[in-house]
Amino acid sequence: KIEIPIICYLVDTGDHKIMVDTGMPDAERATRYHHESRKADCLDSPDAVKQLGIDPDEVDICIFTHLHWDHTHCMKRFRNARYIATATEIRWAFNPLPLWYRSYESPILGIEAPFIGCHFELVEGEATIVPGVKVFPTPGHTPGHQSVEVETAAGTIVLVGDAIFLYRNFEPKLDEHWRYWVQQRFVNMIDGWKSMEEIDRRADFILPCHDAKVLEHPVYPYPDMPLRKRREPIPGAPFYFTGI
């Protein structure tokens, strides 16, 4: 077992301030309903935004990669934001299989999910949110998961949510001839693998939500940030999955 962070991202385009996911609840609630947690050395996302000198009311868009408990708390504190999620994710979040009741804080557990009572703008498929920021489907971790593609002067950054938990997941497992070291937190492994391939195709830089290495830099892109080598899917290549 390792301890992992829960990371949200603020995308500042100059014209728009966009939160990508809004984080976890307090440690007591998180520990009670989910996993042993602590928040002694971190902040709620609105308080972190304040530390950047930005009023949370200035955030005008919240894009959700998916609606799990650790990606949606504090959302109502961004009072002037449009909330954007996929239609597929909304349907699943309100009616998940029992195995995922806790992930979505289903009312059957006697608690209220943070997105209850919120109005969402629904997207499905690839969509431009504002110039330079688009979303595209990356199902697998959840049926309606999406990633956020941000164009920067340094290249294309993809905020992958939980399509990739750790950078380790994007490394090959050579002894098994796997292209990726695949995580097991997928509702659909085939979709999840294909989503990783799509991220691989698009991204100059990848920023996951649960890898502590991300915290080594407060701002992305940073000076001399190295481009990753894209691995184009080529049928018949050693680590290529052709699908079904």
What confidence tens digit (pLDDT) does each residue in 51-81 have?
Answer: 999 999 999 999 999 999 999 999 999 999 9
The first and second tokens of residue 100, run together, are 């995922």
Quote the pLDDT of residue 240: 47
* pLDDT band at residue 218 under the 50/70/90 scheme: very high
pLDDT digits (tens, 9 = 90+) for 144-198: 999 999 999 999 999 999 999 999 998 888 788 788 887 788 999 999 999 999 9
Residue 86 — φ and ψ, nearest 5°? Answer: -85, 150
Task: Compute the mean pLDDT over every residue in the chain, rounded to the nearest whole number.
Answer: 90
pLDDT of residue 85: 98
Q: Peptide bond before 5: cis, by omega within 30 degrees of 0? A: no
Look at residue 236 in the predicted model and tell me its pLDDT: 47
Q: Collapsing DSSP states into helix, strand and coil, what is residue 146?
A: strand
Query: pLDDT at position 234, please?
Result: 42
pTM given for the model: 0.91
Give the Å distances, CA to CA, from 131 to 27, 135, 222: 36, 11, 21
Q: For residue 84, is it left (φ>0), alpha (ψ between -120 and 50) or beta?
A: beta
Structure tokens belonging to residue 89: 């994710």
Largest pairwise CA distance in the chain:
51
Query: Using one digit for the tens of pLDDT, what is the confidence trace for 13-51?
Result: 999 999 999 998 888 888 888 888 876 566 789 999 999
Q: Which two tokens stand for residue 123?
A: 């997207």
